[in-house]
Amino acid sequence: MRSTGVIAMCVSVLLTMAVSETQYSDFHLAGDYLLGGLFSLHTETMSSPHLSHSAVPTCQAYKLKIASYSHLRAMRFAVEQINNSSTLLPGVSLGYEMVDVCYFTNSIHPILYFLANEHSVVQLQNNYTHYQPRVLAVIGPDSSQAAVIVAHVLSLFLIPQISYRATTNELNDRERFPTAFRAISSMEQQIVAMLLLLKEFQWNWINILYSDDDYGRQNLQLLWARVVIVLSLDLTLPFFFQEAVRQNVMDLVWIAAEAWATEPTLYNITDLWRVGTILGVAAKEFSIPGFDDFRVSLAKEDNGQASDQTTCNQACDQCLGAARDADQTMRAQGERTDFSVYSSVYIVARALHRLLGCNTTGCHKRMVYPWQLVPEVKRVDFSLLDKRISFRKKGNTPNSFEIIQWKWDQPNNPFQKIASYSTKNQKLLFTTQNISWHTPNNTVPISVCSQECEYGQRRKPIRVSSCCFKCIDCEAGTFLNNNDPYNCQPCPAHQWSSARSQECYPRLLKYLEWQEGTTVVLLLFSVLGLIATLVISVTFAIHSQTPVVKSAGGRMCFFMLVSLIIGFINVPMYVGIPTEFKCVCRQTVFSLCFTVCISCITVRSFQIISIFKMAAWLPKAYSYWMKYNGQYIFITVILALKVAIIVTNVNINPPAPVLVDLKDDPSIVVLQCNKNYKLALLMNGSLDTCLSILCFYFSYMGKELPKNYNEAKYITLCMTCYSVSGIAILLVMSVYSAVLVTMCDAMGVVINLLGISMGYFGPKCYLIFFHPERNTAAYFQTAIQSYTMRQD
């Protein structure tokens, strides 16, 4: 062990120190109460355990940890303060005995010593109500494992035990340890402070080092949250860090548990600064007025003379001299655990104050048994050096912690506070940002398994630990919700997002609007077509008995004209926000109207050919056609077939408004009447396409008919408009899926309606208005005779 950081101390295996206003020849005396102090003196050499408590050990040279020496003096300082007080326990003296538990290897012998009576015997009794052991209460020990061992025994005798450094959660069990208390917060609060520290610097991937003892294992269980910390008592760490320095371990960040966060022995290891930055969770530092000077002062007895240096107590010259040499180191370490020892003594004194009914004049002198003190310890609630001291349900005081950093360039202040932690609020408050990191430009070290994903990237775990992941871009149409970093959420139908988005944006709703220029032109032609069709209808009604009207189809012409008028009226259904009614009209009205028109044109062309050719070739078939009005039967069959197609189409492709995404621009959504718009158009147009082919065929067969009956070029014009518009719509739909499709569909409707209205009925009106001489029976008879003569 290094000589730096330790002092010579006279100590035995059972170091006994009794100090009070009267010598304790009989510790049963009323008004004199004895405390037991269990400390880990950590001697470098140990003799065999002394089983006899009556022998006075001689002064031997042992090396003692500076911290343990300071704890011994803190207990004595508190006892002397209380005994000198005229208000806390007037007329009552406290004494103490301190023993070495050697960390936790020698816990039973001191406890048996404390439990023994004046004859150094622990009597076996059925009832210990009136049994008075050597001490009234026990302070310590400092290690968690030793504290639990001691608590098992003391709880059987109902002797109060106040540990000033044991953080184990086992002592929270009130059923197992009804008399165990702590003057320090549990390890759970220490772990919370560590987790907040790791969270502050965003460290989530660090090595975990822990000692194979209760302290290390229990802290590890609380920290099994993928964090890194050194969980160990300080006893084995010097060898570990010396080996780390030897193996050139450099530039890491070490997080110290409270057990070694302010250990000067470790701080003085040669070249330890090379291992990196050391942070630690330490008990809050308190200033005990007068304690620094008391720690290095010569112990006096009541007569003012030095204690007998043959006894093993703190008056040894070696101890005092070494303590003075290490005074600066102890001052730099701070009075952290010393305050816990100091407050533990005051807790017992306050409990005695209540139990003895003390006032300003004195206390009730009576026999006090340890079990009587337990409930009073539970109820203590007082202020000590501006610190509130009280026990919670779990038997520990709500103490606070600090985050400290080891400063290698400031030996007078090696453990500097950088943050404070309140157990009440469970928050970490940094008091400085001046932290020395072993990194370029003093930047905060990065200790993560995976770098944080960028905006709009989700985490894909690549190991069992959630700290390790790949970053995957969220696709377009999805976004990353901060509450779920592992899954990209789809945007609602009315919103959109680009790739790697963290939110969705409202989509621009597109449809064929009224104010658009193309819409205005489309509606203008539709209105003109409607007016023209109405004029044609009136004209045909007036001249219904003329040869021109009869050759155009007679009564069937009005059937066609009504269909055209309905078709023109239906054009506005393609404009504006689609509704279910508009969608039904789009998918049914024009298709049915156009089928009526084209079926009439087909049957009229067939009739003309039948008159001039079929009557001669198939006279019997022609007679049946005329007898049973074959043209109307044909139209009825075609319309029935068309209705069946429309009903089937409506069932397969329901005409209802749907939102259709644009692949090229996700910020726009098209509101149209059918998701399968192309399929709906093809189904509706299948029968019309067949009829148009028949029209082309019949018009070609009738190209040599009399001029007045030759309508091949007009029918060809109508069917050409239908074919061109249909092909254009299919081409547009194969390339685009936006409003342009609806616009082309509406344009096709207007073109087809105008094609029949103006292409088929227009020439007839021209003859009626401008060549009335051709609209006579004689003129038509002459044309027929000329055709007959040419055929002959």
What are 369-392's pLDDT values in tens digits? 999 999 999 999 999 988 888 886
Q: Look up residue 440 and give its DSSP letter.
A: G
- Work out the number of other CB atoms within 10 angstroms of the CB of residue 778: 9
Strands 415-422 and 427-430: antiparallel
Give the tokens for residue 70.
Answer: 């300071």
φ, ψ at 739 (rounded to 5°): -65, -20
Model pLDDT, residue 54: 30
Model pLDDT, residue 2: 31
23-44+57-185+313-395 adopts what CATH topology? Rossmann fold (3.40.50)
Residues in the chain: 792
Model pLDDT, residue 532: 93
Query: In the predicted model, what is the mean pLDDT of the chain?
Result: 78
- Work out the number of other CB atoms within 10 angstroms of the CB of residue 551: 18
Model pLDDT, residue 11: 24
Mean pLDDT, to the nearest integer, of 544-564?
87
Q: For residue range 445-457, list pLDDT tens digits in order.
A: 888 888 888 889 9
Res. 212 pLDDT band, cuts 50 70 90: low
Residue for token pair 């290095």: 296
- DSSP 3-state of 283: strand
Helices (H) and strands (E) in the chain — how many of each? Answer: 24, 25
Model pLDDT, residue 178: 92
Q: For residue range 656-708, list pLDDT tens digits in order.
A: 888 877 777 778 888 888 777 777 777 888 888 888 888 878 777 766 665 65
- 501: pLDDT strictly greater than 70: yes
User: DSSP for 459-515?
Assistant: EEE-SSSTT-EEEEEPPTTEEE-TT-TT-EEEPPTTEE--TT-SS-EEPEEE---TT
Residue 141, preceding peptide bond in cis (omega within 30° of 0):
yes
Long-range contacts of 689-697 (CB under 8 A, 24+ apart): 689/726, 691/595, 691/598, 691/599, 691/602, 691/638, 692/598, 692/719, 692/722, 692/723, 694/602, 694/605, 694/606, 695/598, 695/601, 695/602, 695/605, 695/719
Model pLDDT, residue 213: 62
Q: Look up residue 118 and give its DSSP letter.
A: T
Distances (CA, A) of 546 to 238, 553, 715: 124, 11, 21
Question: What distance in Å separates the CA atoms of residue 320 and residue 250, rounded to the nearest whole number?
Answer: 38
Strands 381-384 and 387-390: antiparallel
φ, ψ at 488 (rounded to 5°): -85, 130
Model pLDDT, residue 305: 36
Mean pLDDT, to the nearest integer, of 638-656?
88
Give the tokens for residue 9.
Answer: 């101390």
- Work out the number of other CB atoms within 10 angstroms of the CB of residue 530: 19
Question: What distance in Å separates the CA atoms of residue 681 and residue 658, rounded to the nearest whole number?
Answer: 16
More confident residue, 475 or 701: 475
Res. 617 pLDDT band, cuts 50 70 90: low
Model pLDDT, residue 549: 87
Q: Where are the alpha helices (DSSP H) in 86-130?
A: 108-115
Highest mean pLDDT (candidates 263-267, 476-480, 675-679)? 476-480
Distances (CA, A) of 545 to 220, 538, 773: 108, 13, 15
The separation between CA 231 and the C-alpha centre of its own chain, rounded to angstroms, equals 29
Model pLDDT, residue 561: 93
More confident residue, 325 or 149: 149
Give which of 753, 725, 749, 755 is closest to 565, Cα–Cα: 753
Model pLDDT, residue 69: 72
Model pLDDT, residue 361: 86
Amino acid at 524: L
517-576+592-649+677-789 adopts what CATH topology? Rhopdopsin 7-helix transmembrane proteins (1.20.1070)
Res. 306 pLDDT band, cuts 50 70 90: very low
- 214: pLDDT strictly greater than 70: no
- 649: pLDDT strictly greater than 90: no
How large a percentage of the chain has pLDDT more than 70?
Answer: 79
More confident residue, 400 or 763: 763
Cβ contact 774:767 at 8 Å:
yes
**What is the pTM for the complete model shown?**
0.57
- 434: pLDDT strictly greater than 70: yes
How large a percentage of the chain has pLDDT more than 90?
Answer: 18
Mean pLDDT, to the nearest integer, of 316-331?
64
Model pLDDT, residue 53: 29
Distances (CA, A) of 346 to 370, 400, 609, 651: 16, 18, 126, 90
Model pLDDT, residue 571: 93
- 95: pLDDT strictly greater than 80: yes
More confident residue, 678 or 323: 678
Cβ contact 401:428 at 8 Å:
no
- 192: pLDDT strictly greater than 70: yes
Question: What distance in Å separates the CA atoms of residue 162 and residue 395, rounded to the nearest whole number?
Answer: 9
Mean pLDDT, to the nearest integer, of 715-743?
80
Model pLDDT, residue 258: 86
- 158: pLDDT strictly greater than 50: yes
- DSSP 3-state of 383: strand
Model pLDDT, residue 303: 34
Give the tokens for residue 16.
Answer: 């006994």
- 268: pLDDT strictly greater than 50: yes
- 48: pLDDT strictly greater than 50: no
| Beta carbons within 8 Å of 121's beta carbon, 6+ residues apart | none
- 65: pLDDT strictly greater than 60: no
Q: Picking from 110-124, 135-149, 226-240, 668-682, which range would have the lowest pLDDT averaged per residue?
A: 226-240
Residue for token pair 């038997």: 395
Q: Where are the beta strands (DSSP E) in 31-109?
A: 32-39, 62-65, 93-100
Model pLDDT, residue 351: 93
Model pLDDT, residue 523: 93
Res. 554 pLDDT band, cuts 50 70 90: confident
Strands 62-65 and 6-9: antiparallel
- 472: pLDDT strictly greater than 80: yes
Give the tokens for residue 458.
Answer: 């989700």
- DSSP 3-state of 671: strand
